Amino acid sequence: MSLERADAPDISEQGLDPHRLFPADATSRKIATELYATVKDLPIVSPHGHTDPRWYAENEAFPDPAQLFIVPDHYVFRMLFSQGIDLSQLGVPRIDGGLSETDSRKIWRTFAENFHLFRATPSRMWLEHSFQEVFGWTKRISAQTADEAYDHIADCLTRPEFRPRALFERFNIEVIATTESPLDDLKWHRQIRDSGWKGRVVTAYRPDAVVDPEFEGFSANVEKFGELAGEDTTSWQGYLNAHRVRRAYFKSFGATSSDHGHATARTENLPAADAEALFQKALKGNCSPEEADAFRGHMLTEMARMSLEDGLVLQIHPGSYRNHSSGIMAAHGRDKGFDIPTQTSYVKALKPLLDAVGLEKDLSIILFTLDETAYSRELAPLAGVYPTLKLGPAWWFYDSPEGMRRYRELTTETAGFYNTVGFNDDTRAFCSIPARHDVARRVDCAYLASLVTSGRLDEDEAYEVAHDLTYRLAKQAYRL
Amino acid sequence: MSLERADAPDISEQGLDPHRLFPADATSRKIATELYATVKDLPIVSPHGHTDPRWYAENEAFPDPAQLFIVPDHYVFRMLFSQGIDLSQLGVPRIDGGLSETDSRKIWRTFAENFHLFRATPSRMWLEHSFQEVFGWTKRISAQTADEAYDHIADCLTRPEFRPRALFERFNIEVIATTESPLDDLKWHRQIRDSGWKGRVVTAYRPDAVVDPEFEGFSANVEKFGELAGEDTTSWQGYLNAHRVRRAYFKSFGATSSDHGHATARTENLPAADAEALFQKALKGNCSPEEADAFRGHMLTEMARMSLEDGLVLQIHPGSYRNHSSGIMAAHGRDKGFDIPTQTSYVKALKPLLDAVGLEKDLSIILFTLDETAYSRELAPLAGVYPTLKLGPAWWFYDSPEGMRRYRELTTETAGFYNTVGFNDDTRAFCSIPARHDVARRVDCAYLASLVTSGRLDEDEAYEVAHDLTYRLAKQAYRL
Amino acid sequence: MSLERADAPDISEQGLDPHRLFPADATSRKIATELYATVKDLPIVSPHGHTDPRWYAENEAFPDPAQLFIVPDHYVFRMLFSQGIDLSQLGVPRIDGGLSETDSRKIWRTFAENFHLFRATPSRMWLEHSFQEVFGWTKRISAQTADEAYDHIADCLTRPEFRPRALFERFNIEVIATTESPLDDLKWHRQIRDSGWKGRVVTAYRPDAVVDPEFEGFSANVEKFGELAGEDTTSWQGYLNAHRVRRAYFKSFGATSSDHGHATARTENLPAADAEALFQKALKGNCSPEEADAFRGHMLTEMARMSLEDGLVLQIHPGSYRNHSSGIMAAHGRDKGFDIPTQTSYVKALKPLLDAVGLEKDLSIILFTLDETAYSRELAPLAGVYPTLKLGPAWWFYDSPEGMRRYRELTTETAGFYNTVGFNDDTRAFCSIPARHDVARRVDCAYLASLVTSGRLDEDEAYEVAHDLTYRLAKQAYRL
């Protein structure tokens, strides 16, 4: 008996299991397989994400495998970092003047040597799906296959059929939303529109930089915001008008939603005078943390009121403790895998907003969470009664087979299927988009199959629901 | 490939799946089927619920399908409301002078047209079970079948075998508890008793109106309470005595339990002088929110002490944020589907009560939760050691197949089966009672079968436990 | 139809199911069985536990079945107590002068008569595994078999092959850690070392008594601590030096870890002057609860800094509300089954420690939780990015089949396998050690099999991971 770890064969060419993520028992597996066959080729509707509109505007080739799969993907580099590999070794840029690896092949080798760390993670599934389905690469990534894989993918990337627009079309994306700040001039969106290309790329209105008094450069941001909007944002009414103007501008580039990433789900519905006073304090940089929080909370209600006017769907993404490590923040800056979920309460937090606009049938608010305990306790009961509220899909760390399964098991019995909104890929990893939608389709079909097998849903209904969850609900909820 | 949602056949006549809610694998399914066969026909013991004693007293026909299934059922109308159907359209009464639909057929049609919203919810399962098993209606409800179903059920309701007492007997109810305020004269219970009918209907003591300083009309309630009890409730001792008197009165109508629905699980064991001072403040309407909360918490300990004297089982149902929407509260009043679960902590909250009476073997306290995170973290560890404590079944939004499964998976390993108390249907929807007990029996048998299949329980024991969970534990825990 | 509970046969001789805890479907079960075959006989690595080093030092016979299995096992006596059996009846010593049962056979009979209470609990599985695998007893424990079982086990205990060292060897324990206070002279460990016996028993440094200002006798403890270390612990630097000295002493007896059992996960990184001031207050017994908490939190950071010097792995075990019942504390003292888990937050709590040392690759901090909601929300995201952090296994009430399954399902997708550390048995119940490790191996193999069946892990990789989880990770994480 050997006490050392067994040697795994280094190369596997078995490829993706066609029945992956389906139930184990034969009856349910057969139903899931048949359900999936009816939805697997439906177009991708991607109503919330972070791909770069510049890709679609310029349609340049992606640089190389490491720049495509490793350097920008926080899921990938955080796992490698957790096992002692410096972010600098992975080519993640530094903001402190330090050096970071620029040899993409070297970065790729480091990744390949540590590929076992991703076992049973969604990253592994997304990566292998991309390698196989996008690039036709089916061997397992390892130290042995690293160079061959790198060369294979790098070669693909030089070819026209791997340019962003070609992939967009091959991925069968019917529409994709990007996310921009009100301070963005949307020039890439303009270039896409002017190019005559038929791919539908829309923006979304993400005003954190001008609604959060604690955002870096808040008052300068608000000043620039006023310039862009042609409004005097030193006054409260001018500031609100500037939102109206920029929202309309974003709508002219296809936006159907706004998006709000606060630390908590707090909302407020302050008297106008109080809101104005907070705004003036915020401009002067004098808000206490509590006042800043109240102002952010109040702005959600203002945004909801504007949504009633202009029809933008309002998305709330609360609960992330951003940039948790001071050391990484100092060396590499924001968004380096150190955003950590926290406990999030919704019931009292949303009451001011819901008392103001919660019964409006023409308003659509989509709630997300990083605290799964809120699914059955708070979010499904709220979305299962308020006509304005819908539940966004399993998000971020929960955008995974187990996370999606828990989401359905914890929300469906109280909120049903029709208070949910289909899938969001929420990604900046372009090649992972088909993989992520495929995981969601498979997990939903597996869940539906289990409902059929256990007599909780008739089989004919399961086909309709599978179609709804894959395609129709996203279009309807996001008004796309 | 069509991008539109598939058309579901509108009529299904397949009826309920006889193996519904059983495990998917053949071995476990067989065991579950055999276990279920031994418990499915056991009498219903319903120790906690909200059916109207007037039904049993007067034994009048139920009015019509909409008044029976839709108008009073908050699970049903909240789901419809969440998708933009006004409560007024569903016949839910208004308190603001507005009109509400009175045409029951029209209400029923609205329900039927939107029946797909209930897919995979427990409401769907309860409704279909009632339609099929109580009324012999097996087609799927839809716009097409709405009128036919309405006529069928309405016709049944005119017949004597669908009167409350006949259904009570047909449902094989051995005993059912209703819930009344100490201010209730129990006249319907008296009428049942005087009628000579043999159905066993008992009351339960629910004193929220006279123990919660924030309850509407608290001091007037306490005054009336004194009159009913023949005690001077302007004094603390008189007030406590009034409880003793009314509890005894309730016991004379079969009560074996009291029930307490506070916003939190807070308990207090205050010095008598402090309790008395709070009581006097409460009578004058001068309690701060904190003082009101402390008083409610203290009254749980007083109730527990009285339970030691008179043997009533004490039930604690904490954690609901009641009447969350101000707009609905103003238009339709209380209890309109807007009670939302909140985070609930038990460990520190229950310590004063448990230090006072927690080791008393003659006292039985049954804990419920709307926060499933407390099952494995707090409730099972508490009930698994304190002799007074037992765990109530999965409650309210969790009275569902997935909710019940999680309940067993999260509590059994620490608290075992014998610190649980069987099933509560907790319903005011009379025709759903057999359906709800059936779901509980099936889910428990499925869970037991999975334990047998995975070698965690011997098969002969599973039969005994199935019987205990279905029948014996409820009778024992509630002293019925 | 009988309404009474069915009679279970009192004696079962079927023994343990060889496929227990494996998945129900044939495909997954086959894979789990094959995986398990490769790890079931691997040596036991037990890096964290509470067995008594005196056993190994003196190698005396264990006294009798009740003293071995019931009196010291809080899992066992808490369940019996929850059903109304006094701790005194179970031989649990009193500290209030009251009498406690001393007749071990009588204690055993009480246990046997109530054996059904343990159905589907891990205690049942551990007990039956010990009875069968250690003592060759395969009948079910009951009133009928009580005496026969007692005699059988008692007879075994008189024989040399049931002495601690013989069992240690038969259990195939490669290394086991005990846990001692810095005030312990480690004389049993010295005796083990001096005996020439080859069994590897190491200690661990558990300084609660000298880092918690609220610990009984804190200032006297610190004084004795100084004497043992030869340092002047009336000064802050002397106190810190005393830790260094005692840690080195513990290392000389094989310690590779320290362990910290605070009520919360709070950490602090105070300026030295502030820490010193708190320390001086603590010595005088003048700390407020908040100050005591801050001091404990700061000491975690000090311990982490010392770990950077001396290489001890730091374990944090937060979240238990200790000795919850005042009545039991007064009658029986500490650690009598009344430690109850509480909500535990990690994200903000750990930030001071992590900002101080969280990016150090040579430091290893192992986090445990009694709040399962933190697994996916906080712990996996933290351990999945900080190189210092690893996740300890499912702990205490969650050291169970369902608890371990949830642990893997809730952590693997974000933290992977390689930020976990294998299994801890964490027990003082010596004969349960093989049972506990066997449960962990089975549950892990079942989980891995389900990953293979659902296409999330290749089969060859599953073998490697099974070996890692069973053996390699514990040795690596604990530097054993």
Do the chains contact at C457 and A140, CB–CB below 8 Å?
A: no
| Minimum distance, in Å, between the CA of residue C399 and any CA atom of chain B | 10
Judged by CB atoms closer than 8 Å, whether chains meet at C79 and B373 is answered as no
Residue of A20, A21, A10 whose CA lies nearest to A140: A10
Contact C342, C320 (CB under 8 A): yes
pLDDT under 50 in chain A at which residues? 1-12
Ordered alpha helix ranges (H), B162-235? 164-170, 187-195, 208-211, 218-229
CATH number of A50-60+164-256+263-371: 3.20.20.140
Name the region of B400 (left: φ>0; alpha: ψ -120 to 50; beta: rest): beta
Mind giving me the DSSP string for B291-323?
A: HHHHHHHHHHHHHHHHHHHH-PEEEE---EE-S
Asked if A468 and A457 touch (Cβ cutoff 8 Å), the reply is no
Q: What is the rounded average pLDDT of the residues C339-353?
A: 98
Residues of A in contact with C354 (CB under 8 A): 324-325
CA–CA distance, C240 with C218 (Å, rounded to integer): 15
Contact (Cβ atoms closer than 8 angstroms) between residue B389 and residue B346: no
CA-nearest residue to B467 within chain C is: C5
Hey, what are C82's tokens? 């929850």
- Cross-chain Cβ contact A385/B338 below 8 Å: yes
| Contact status of A398 with chain C (Cβ, < 8 Å) | yes
Domain coordinates in residue numbering, chain A: 18-47+385-480, 50-60+164-256+263-371, 65-162
* pLDDT score, position C12: 46
Residue B6 pLDDT? 41
Kind of pairing between the strands at B201-202 and A389-391: unpaired
CA atoms within 13 A on the CB side of B265: 28
Most C CBs within 10 Å, among B41, B413, B444, B452, to test the C interface:
B413
Chain A contact for C157 (CB, 8 A cutoff):
no
- What is the amino acid identity at position B178? T
Q: What is the pLDDT of residues C23-65, one digit of tens each?
A: 999 999 999 999 999 999 999 999 999 999 999 999 999 999 9
User: Which residues of chain C are within 8 Å of residue B387 when distances are taken between CB atoms?
Assistant: 81-84
Instruction: Output the pLDDT for position A11.
Output: 41
A370 interaction partners in chain C (CB closer than 8 Å) = 377
Residues 282-321 of A with CB under 8 A from C: 321
Identity of residue C368: F
Residue A238's SS3 state is: helix
CA angle (C364 as vertex; C361, C367 as ends), nearest 5: 135
Q: Phi/psi at B390 (nearest 5 deg)?
A: -130, 160
What's the CA gap between A430 and B355, in Å, rounded?
A: 59
Of B117, B343, B370, the CB nearest to A416: B117
- C41/A328 CB distance under 8 A: no
Contacts A410 to C, Cβ<8 Å: none
For CA atoms B401, B402, B403, B404, give the dihedral sign.
positive
% of chain C with per-residue pLDDT over 70: 97
Q: How far is C161 from chain B (nearest CA, A)?
A: 29
CA distance A441 to A462: 13
User: Are residues A340 and A286 in contact, defined by beta-carbon separation less than 8 angstroms?
Assistant: no
CA-nearest residue to B3 within chain A is: A42
Task: Give the strand pairing for A320-321 and A340-341.
Answer: antiparallel
Q: Tell me, which fold does domain C26-63+164-477 have in CATH?
A: TIM Barrel (3.20.20)
Please give the ipTM for the structure prediction: 0.96
Answer left, alpha or beta for residue A158, where phi above 0 means left and psi between -120 and 50 means alpha: alpha
Interface A–C counts its CB contacts (< 8 A) at: 149
Helical segments of A387-458, H only: 401-415, 433-453
| Minimal C-alpha gap between A456 and chain B (Å) | 6
pLDDT bucket at C256, cuts 50 / 70 / 90: very high
Contact B79 A354 (CB under 8 A): no
Cβ <8 Å between A401 and C456? yes
Burial class (CB in 10 A: 0-12, 13-18, 19+), C476: middle
Contact list in B for residue C117 (CB cut-off 8 A) is 416, 418
Q: What tokens does A156 get?
A: 């693909």
pLDDT for B320 equals 97
Whole-number Å distance between alpha carbons of B44 and B40: 10
What's the whole-number mean pLDDT along residues B139-156? 98
Do B26-62+172-477 and B63-162 come out as alike in CATH topology?
Answer: no
Residues of B in contact with A454 (CB under 8 A): 17, 19-22, 24, 401
Rounded to a whole number, what is the largest CA-CA distance in chain B?
Answer: 78
Q: List the 33-62 stretch of C: residues with Cβ below 8 A of A.
A: 38, 41-43
Neighbouring subunits of A (3+ Cβ pairs under 8 A): B, C
Q: Does A326 touch chain B (CB under 8 A)?
A: no
Name every residue whose Cβ is closer than 8 Å to that of residue C372 and which is 6 or more positions away in sequence. B373, B376, B377, C398, C403, C406, C407, C410
H helices of C114-212, in order, are: 122-129, 146-157, 164-170, 187-195, 208-211
Span C191-246, pLDDT tens digits: 999 999 999 999 999 999 999 999 999 999 999 999 999 999 999 999 999 999 99
- Residue B104 and residue B64 in contact, taking contact as beta carbons nearer than 8 Å: yes
Confidence band for B14, pLDDT divided at 50, 70 and 90 = low
Test B454 with C21 for CB contact under 8 angstroms: yes
* A:327-386 residues touching chain B, CB 8 A cutoff: 345, 347-348, 351, 354-355, 358-359, 361, 373, 376-378, 380-386
CATH of domain B63-162: 1.10.2020.10
* Residue C187 at interface with chain A, using a CB cutoff of 8 Å: no
Report pLDDT for A7. Answer: 43
Mean pLDDT score of chain C: 96
Contacts of B116 in chain A (CB under 8 A): 418, 461, 464
Per-residue confidence (pLDDT) for residue B15, from 0 to 100: 83
pLDDT above 70 (res B330): yes
- C72: closest CA among C301, C458, C337? C337
Q: Is C413 within 8 Å of A371 when comparing Cβ atoms? A: no
Give the confidence band of B1 by pLDDT, cuts at 50, 70, 90. very low
Report the C-alpha gap between C245 and B324 in whole angstroms. 59
With left for phi above 0 and alpha for psi between -120 and 50, is residue A254 left, alpha or beta?
left
Fold exhibited by the domain B26-62+172-477:
TIM Barrel (3.20.20)
A477 touches chain B (CB under 8 A): no
Does B184 reach chain C within 8 Å, measured CB to CB?
no
SS3 category, C243: helix
Distance from the Cα of C299 to chain B's closest Cα (Å) equals 26
Q: How far is A12 from chain C (nearest CA, A)?
A: 9
Tens digits of per-residue pLDDT, C93-105?
999 999 999 999 9
Q: Please give the residue of chain A at the shortest CA–CA distance from B341.
A: A377
CATH of domain C64-162: 1.10.2020.10
Q: What gap in Å lies between CA C83 and CA C93, rounded to an integer?
A: 19
Report how far residue A183's alpha carbon sits from residue A228's, in angstroms, rounded to the nearest whole number: 7
Determine contact: C439 vs chain A, CB below 8 A: no
Contact residues, chain A, for C386 at CB < 8 Å: 82, 325
For residue B387, the chain C residue with the least C-alpha distance is: C82
Helix (H) or strand (E) holding B381: helix B380-383
Chain B, residues 92-121, CB within 8 A of chain C, namely none
Model confidence at B268: pLDDT above 70:
yes
Q: Helices (H) and strands (E) in chain C — how many of each?
A: 22, 9
Q: Phi and psi at residue B315, in whole multiples of 5°?
A: -105, 135
The two most distant CA atoms of chain C are separated, in Å, by 77
The secondary structure of B127-164 as a DSSP string is HHHIIIIIT---SPPSTTTHHHHHHHHHHHHTSGGGSH
Q: Looking at the DSSP assignment, which residues form a beta bridge with residue A136?
A: none
Residue contact C347–A1, C-beta within 8 A = no
Q: Are B250 and B210 in contact (CB under 8 A)?
A: no
Quote the pLDDT of residue C222.
98
Query: Cβ contact (<8 Å) for B412 and C120?
Result: yes
Q: In angstroms, what separates the C-alpha of A361 from chain B's closest C-alpha? A: 6
- Classify A65-162 by CATH class: mainly alpha
Helix (H) or strand (E) holding B245, with range, is helix B236-252
Percent of chain B with pLDDT over 70: 97
According to the model, what pLDDT value does residue B272 have?
A: 96
Give the confidence band of C15 by pLDDT, cuts at 50, 70, 90.
confident
| Residues C11, C14, C19, C23, CA torsion sign | negative
What sign does the CA torsion over C237, C243, C247, C248 have?
positive
Q: Do the Cβ atoms of C82 and B468 come within 8 Å?
A: no
Radius of gyration of chain B (CA): 23
Q: Which residue matches tokens 């505007």? A: A57
DSSP of B399-450, one letter per residue? -SHHHHHHHHHHHHHHH-STTB-------S-GGGHHHHHHHHHHHHHHHHHH
Cβ distance C120 to B410 less than 8 Å, yes or no, reads: no
> Are C412 and C34 in contact, with CB atoms under 8 Å apart?
no
* Test the A interface: residue of B29, B79, B113, B324 with most A CBs within 10 Å: B324
Size of interface B-C (CB pairs under 8 A): 150
The candidate with the shortest Cα–Cα distance to B330, out of A199, A198, A359, is A359
Contacts of B among chains (3+ CB pairs under 8 A)? A, C
